[in-house]
Amino acid sequence: MGRWYVYYEDWQMECCGTPFSVGDEVSWPLLLMDADDVLAGDWERELSRIVGSVEAVPDEYGGVFRTLRAGPPGGLGLTAALNADAVDDSGPEPAEPIRRVGLLTVERHGGEWPETTGRVRAIHLVHQEYAALAPGSLTREPVPGTRSLEAVTSCPKWFGEGRSGVLVELDVPGAAPPEPRDRR
């Protein structure tokens, strides 16, 4: 059993999600994102370090996307879709396991990806400050260093101003994260 952090963006929940509570079993399609691309970065504590096999999965449009699977083949475990640039597309899948680091996110709009099933152990409402991109602009961007977390027992369906989603601690059977290396 491994505990993983998963970020569930507000708009993903509001559009196509089903609210959940601590203790619930959930199944979600996951995407491993570059953490710097999510709410101005600074996710060091929540990063996932995944070691696993790369699998090619056909998509609904006749193409192929890549997933990274941590856990026994064909069994329980964590499966996350990879961004297109995460693996070399020019040849066969790597025979040896690969290691990738990023932020796991729920992705309900990227195709029919395999889902990861786990039990919700904790939910943190993510508060994020935003600022106008330029004076008078209606476009806003996250302000680095202004994110905070609030422990809650249930995920809301609707979020409102200043709340950008939830960070979930998810226990996944058969998918223990690798031990962190000593940084000396």
Segment among 46-50, 85-89, 133-137, 180-184 with least mean pLDDT: 180-184
What is the pLDDT averaged over residues 92-105? Answer: 78
Say whether 78 sits in a helix, a strand or coil: strand
Strands 25-33 and 78-82, bridge-based pairing: parallel
* The amino acid at 156: P
Listed in sequence order, the residues at least 6 apart from 78 whose beta carbon sits closer than 8 Å to its beta carbon are: 2, 4, 30, 50, 52, 69, 70, 71, 116, 118, 172, 175
What is the pLDDT averaged over residues 56-80? Answer: 75
Place of tokens 């290691």: 99
Residues in the chain: 184
Q: The pTM is what?
A: 0.84
- Rounded CA separation 137/130 (Å): 12
- Give the burial string for 49-65 (b: 16+ CB within 10 Å, else e): ebebbbbeeeeeeeeeb
Phi, psi of 2 (to 5 degrees): -125, 145
Q: Indicate the burial class of 155 (C-beta count within 10 angstroms; 0-12, 13-18, 19 or more).
A: buried
pLDDT at 91 over 70: no
pLDDT at 39 over 50: yes
